[in-house]
Structure 1
């Protein structure tokens, strides 16, 4: 399941550089996560790095983008070209 950033975001800028897939970018009002690129850091880290650094806890799972661990790993491999 991809992650999402809620409107509780304070635009502190700490999440964007932590994303290994480049899935986080500034939106019109708050940062946004591209579900096509978000793997919840599967393949890179044991936990989503954006969630780890977020000071306001505004990055939950996105209920509109449900994925299994296997699907997230397949996405990681597709994005990174890993075998």
Structure 2
């Protein structure tokens, strides 16, 4: 099974599943631009996975849910650079 989901907190997920003896695993390439297809997903910055699950759709659902949660936590924690960029200079 293949699926492209997004944008999710500014990223696109190029998802696919792989069957195994334990169940179905889902993997996704986390992309900064909308990919044309799962296998030619350019601009991937990370690969994530989830499973095993009883069926491919459940594996992708779990993967998207976990990735969305992680990206939300990341967005809620500004980096040091964002704090510097958003701070206003103090008068001396």
TM-score by length of 1: 0.27
Instruction: Kindly indicate which of the two structures has a greater share of residues assigned to strand.
Output: 2
**Structure number with higher relative contact order (C-alpha < 8 Å, ≥ 6 residues apart):** 1
TM-score by length of 2: 0.25
